[in-house]
C-alpha cells in the first residue's frame, strides 16, 4: 500500500521537494498556536486580528500578478533554496513583531513569498514527474499534511514544556534552514530551469477556470472543516469537549493517508475519474455531517470528506501544469488563486450563514458546491492531460 511512499523517501530529488512542502505547514502550525499571544501583545480585538490576517491574502494575490514575470527571470532552483529559507525568517518576524505595522508587513511578505514557493515547488514536482515518468505530486502534498500534524504535536509539547512562542518558532525555523543548507542545498540548486517562458500573460482558457473552480471548492471544504468542525460538533450537536477535535482529526488523517497513496491511485484510476468520484465522496460526507443527529455520525462524515478531498488538489496542480498553450506557472497560479479564494472566502461565508440560519445549512451548501465540482470535472478536458515538457532548462 505504501510502496510508492517508500520509493519517494529513497529518491533524493523528490524527497528534497517533499521536505519543502512540509516546511510551510510546519511553520503555519506553530504560528497558529502563537496567534493568541500575538493578539494580546499587540492589543488586537478579535475583529481587528481577523482583518489583519487577511493581509497575507493580499500578498498572495500580489504573487498571482507577479509570478509569471518573476519566474521568467529567476531560476526555479535558486528560488527554491532562497524562498524556503526566507519564509521561516518571515514567520519569526511575525511572532516577534513589536508593532502592528511590522506585523502587517510580515503578513504581506508571508503571502507573497508563500505563493511563489507554492508555484515553484508544484512546477518542479511536475518537471520531476516528466523526467522520471512517475507520479509524486500527491505524495508531496501528503508531506504538507504530515508537516501540519508534526507541527501540531510540536506546539503541544512546546507549551507543555513552557517554551515561549518566540522560542518555538525560532527552533523550528532554525531546523528548517539548517536542513535546507546542509542536506538539500545541492538537490535544490540543481534545478537550473526557468518555469515560465517570459511570454505575455493571456487570459487563461475557460477549462482552466473550471480547474480553478474545483480547487476553489476543495479548499473551501478544507477551510470550513478546519474552522467550523469543532464548533458544529459542540454547539449544533452538543458533543462533549473530548470529541470536539475528532472531526478535524479524522479529516486530516484521511487527507494524509490518501495523499501518500494517491500517486498509485491516480495512475490506476485516471485523473478525471478520480476527481469526479472523490468529489462525490466528499459531497456525500458533507451530507452525512448535515443529516447527523449525533456527534459520532458527524465525525464519520468529516472523515469521509477527508477521504474524498485527499487527492483532488494534487491532480488539479498536475493538470494545470500540462495545459497546452500556457506555461506551468500560469496554469498553477490560476488554479492556486482559485484555491486561495476558496480557503479565505469559505469559512467567513459559513459563519454568516450560521449566524443567519444555522451551521448545518452552511456546511450543506459546501457539500452542494462539491457535487457541482464533480459535474464540472466530468466535462473538463484538461484532467488527464499528457505529461509533455513545457520547461526551459539550462544545460
Same domain, 210 and 165: no
Instruction: Say what the pLDDT of residue 315 is.
Output: 93
The answer as to whether 348 is a domain residue is yes
Same domain, 168 and 295: no
Same domain, 32 and 177: yes
**Domain containing residue 367: CATH number:** 1.20.1250.20
Same domain, 127 and 149: yes
Same domain, 109 and 234: no
- Give CA–CA dist 169/148, Å, rounded: 14
pLDDT tens digit string along 196-218?
754 444 455 565 889 999 999 99
Instruction: Say what the pLDDT of residue 304 is.
Output: 96
Phi, psi of 379 (to 5 degrees): -110, 0
The answer as to whether 391 is a domain residue is no
Domain boundary pick from 166, 183, 200: 200
Domain boundary pick from 149, 180, 200: 200
- Check: CB of residue 310 under 8 Å from CB of residue 295: no
Same domain, 136 and 271: no
Same domain, 159 and 214: no
**Domain containing residue 60: CATH number:** 1.20.1250
Same domain, 273 and 131: no
User: Which cell is 339 given?
Assistant: 484555491
- Give CA–CA dist 202/200, Å, rounded: 6
The answer as to whether 129 is a domain residue is yes
Same domain, 243 and 178: no
Residues of the chain with pLDDT under 70: 1-4, 46-47, 197-207, 242, 384-395
Instruction: Say what the pLDDT of residue 177 is.
Output: 98
For residue 163, the surrounding DSSP H or E stretch is none
Phi, psi of 114 (to 5 degrees): -60, -40
The answer as to whether 389 is a domain residue is no
Instruction: Say what the pLDDT of residue 385 is.
Output: 54
- Domain hosting 254: range is 202-384
Domain boundary pick from 200, 232, 265: 200
- Give CA–CA dist 220/216, Å, rounded: 6
Instruction: Say what the pLDDT of residue 139 is.
Output: 93
Instruction: Say what the pLDDT of residue 184 is.
Output: 97
- DSSP characters for 342-369? HHHHHHHHHHHHHHHS-HHHHHHHHHHH
Q: What is the pTM of this model?
A: 0.83
The answer as to whether 282 is a domain residue is yes
Q: How many folded domains does the chain comprise?
A: 2
pLDDT tens digit string along 336-387?
888 878 877 777 787 778 778 888 999 999 999 999 999 999 988 888 655 4
Same domain, 3 and 91: yes
Instruction: Say what the pLDDT of residue 199 is.
Output: 43
Half-sphere exposure of 232 (CA within 13 A, CB side): 35
- Check: CB of residue 26 under 8 Å from CB of residue 150: yes
Same domain, 37 and 114: yes
For residue 238, the surrounding DSSP H or E stretch is none
Same domain, 174 and 266: no
Amino acid at each position: 500500500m505504501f510502496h510508492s511512499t517508500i520509493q519517494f523517501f529513497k529518491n533524493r530529488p523528490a524527497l528534497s521537494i517533499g521536505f519543502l512542502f512540509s516546511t510551510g505547514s510546519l511553520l503555519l502550525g506553530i504560528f497558529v498556536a502563537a496567534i493568541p499571544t500575538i493578539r494580546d501583545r499587540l492589543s488586537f480585538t478579535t475583529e481587528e486580528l481577523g482583518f489583519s490576517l487577511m493581509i497575507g491574502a493580499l500578498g498572495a494575490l500580489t504573487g498571482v500578478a507577479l509570478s509569471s514575470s518573476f519566474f521568467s527571470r529567476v531560476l526555479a532552483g535558486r528560488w527554491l533554496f532562497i524562498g524556503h529559507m526566507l519564509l521561516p525568517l518571515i514567520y519569526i518576524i511575525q511572532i516577534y513583531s513589536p508593532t502592528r505595522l511590522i506585523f502587517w508587513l510580515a503578513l504581506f511578505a508571508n503571502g507573497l513569498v508563500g505563493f511563489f514557493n507554492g508555484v515553484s515547488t508544484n512546477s518542479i514536482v511536475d518537471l520531476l514527474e516528466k523526467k522520471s515518468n512517475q507520479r509524486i505530486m500527491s505524495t508531496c502534498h501528503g508531506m504538507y499534511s504530515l508537516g501540519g500534524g508534526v507541527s501540531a504535536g510540536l506546539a503541544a509539547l512546546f507549551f507543555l514544556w513552557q517554551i515561549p512562542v518566540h522560542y518555538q518558532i525560532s527552533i523550528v525555523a532554525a531546523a528548517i534552514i539548517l536542513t535546507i543548507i546542509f542536506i538539500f542545498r545541492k538537490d535544490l540548486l540543481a534545478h537550473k530551469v526557468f518555469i515560465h517562458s517570459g511570454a505575455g500573460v493571456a487570459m487563461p482558457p475557460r477549462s482552466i477556470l473550471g480547474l480553478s473552480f474545483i480547487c476553489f471548492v476543495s479548499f473551501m471544504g478544507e477551510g470550513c472543516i478546519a474552522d467550523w468542525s469543532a464548533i458544529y460538533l459542540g454547539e449544533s450537536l452538543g458533543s462533549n469537549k473530548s470529541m470536539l477535535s475528532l472531526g478535524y482529526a479524522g479529516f486530516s488523517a484521511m487527507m494524509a493517508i490518501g495523499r501518500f497513496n494517491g500517486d498509485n491511485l491516480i495512475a490506476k484510476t485516471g485523473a478525471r475519474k478520480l476527481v469526479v468520484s472523490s468529489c462525490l465522496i466528499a459531497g456525500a460526507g458533507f451530507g452525512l455531517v448535515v443529516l447527523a443527529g449525533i456527534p459520532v455520525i458527524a465525525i464519520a462524515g468529516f472523515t469521509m470528506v477527508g477521504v474524498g478531498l485527499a487527492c483532488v488538489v494534487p491532480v488539479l496542480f498536475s493538470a494545470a501544469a500540462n495545459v497546452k498553450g500556457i506555461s506551468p506557472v500560469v496554469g498553477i497560479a490560476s488554479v492556486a488563486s482559485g484555491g486561495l479564494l476558496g480557503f479565505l472566502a469559505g469559512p467567513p461565508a459559513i459563519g454568516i450563514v450560521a449566524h443567519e440560519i444555522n451551521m448545518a445549512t452552511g456546511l450543506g451548501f459546501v457539500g452542494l458546491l462539491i457535487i457541482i465540482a464533480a459535474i464540472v470535472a466530468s466535462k473538463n478536458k484538461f484532467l488527464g492531460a499528457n505529461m509533455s515538457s513545457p520547461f526551459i532548462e539550462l544545460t
